[in-house]
Amino acid sequence: MTERQSPSRRSTVRTSWDPLAEWYDGWSGKDGSLHHRKLAIPTTLELLDPQMNERILDIGAGLGALAPHVAARLAQYVGVDVSVRMVQKARKYHGHVGTFLQGDARHLHRVPGIQSASFEGAVFLLSIQDMNPLADVLRSAAWALRGGGRLIILMIHPCFRVPRQSGWGWQEERALQYRRVDRYLTPLAVPLKEYPGKAQGSSRSFHRPLHEYVNGLADSGFVLDRMKEITSSLAASGAKSKAEARAHQEIPLFLALRARKL
């Protein structure tokens, strides 16, 4: 029996968001969170620039919020996710504009419907930090892309946002909001926060320093050709809010990378 067919083996993929699907649906929903709609999806589309009839693979597609945007460019959208529940929900929301497949990003060659060198574009939209090991996932994405194909990675900025090891601080005498980073170079596997009604550690998130992404792309046959650092804006009123808004304009929330397969 293959991993795809066996429910028992499927549930052993520790990074699946099956246990978090209901919670994520409540938070993100069909169209994605505010951050998806205002920042993450527009940046992904800008870097990917999908063309008519191109085939685009969304890896770790979740509820498929990217699908209608890719379809609106008349490109062909395929989403893949290891979580059965996420795939079911994505099909319900966006099955009319794209195809959703259940499968493991580390072994895309085992997913029926995904062939070698058959996509012009591939995307990790807020998903690569929920997958491990990185080398397997990048090698698998390279396998699915044709030569010259674009890979977009959009993630929480790993230099400034380290789960449980970074945060905002306030310096009274300078009326300054600052960002504190306690650890950065050491890779971490962090149980996801406890969500209402969900057990702690239902899935895991992985912090890696930036060089692991850049070197991992190079080792998998990609050339990095674009990078964007994206801030979130806050409406400011009052002294402290202005300092807070300034800090949010200076310290990026997301990092986006575009690489091309050689």
Ligand X SMILES: C[S@@+](CC[C@H](N)C(=O)[O-])C[C@H]1O[C@@H](n2cnc3c(N)ncnc32)[C@H](O)[C@@H]1O
Site for ligand X, rule CB under 6 A: 13, 15-17, 28, 32, 36, 60-63, 65, 81-83, 86, 104-106, 125-127, 130-131
Residue given tokens 């050689």 in the structure block: 262
Please give the Cα distance from 221 to 260 (Å, whole number).
8
Please give the Cα distance from 7 to 129 (Å, whole number).
24
**3-class secondary-structure state, position 49:** coil
Please give the Cα distance from 171 to 175 (Å, whole number).
6
Query: Smallest distance, Å, CB 26 to ligand X?
Result: 13
221: left (phi over 0), alpha (psi -120 to 50) or beta: left
Query: Smallest distance, Å, CB 225 to ligand X?
Result: 22
Query: Smallest distance, Å, CB 193 to ligand X?
Result: 12
Task: State the SS3 of 98-125.
Answer: CEEEECCHHHHHHCCCCCCCCEEEEEEE
Please check whether residue 120 is in contact with residue 146, taking contact to mean a CB–CB distance below 8 angstroms: yes
CA 135-25-101 angle, to 5 degrees, is: 50
Which residue lies nearer to ligand X by CB, 36 or 69? 36
Query: Smallest distance, Å, CB 42 to ligand X?
Result: 13
Query: Smallest distance, Å, CB 17 to ligand X?
Result: 3
Shortest Cβ contact with ligand X: which residue? 62
Which residue lies nearer to ligand X by CB, 140 or 177? 140
Which residue lies nearer to ligand X by CB, 36 or 177? 36
Query: Smallest distance, Å, CB 28 to ligand X?
Result: 5
Which residue lies nearer to ligand X by CB, 60 or 252? 60
Which residue lies nearer to ligand X by CB, 20 or 217? 20
Which residue lies nearer to ligand X by CB, 245 or 253? 253
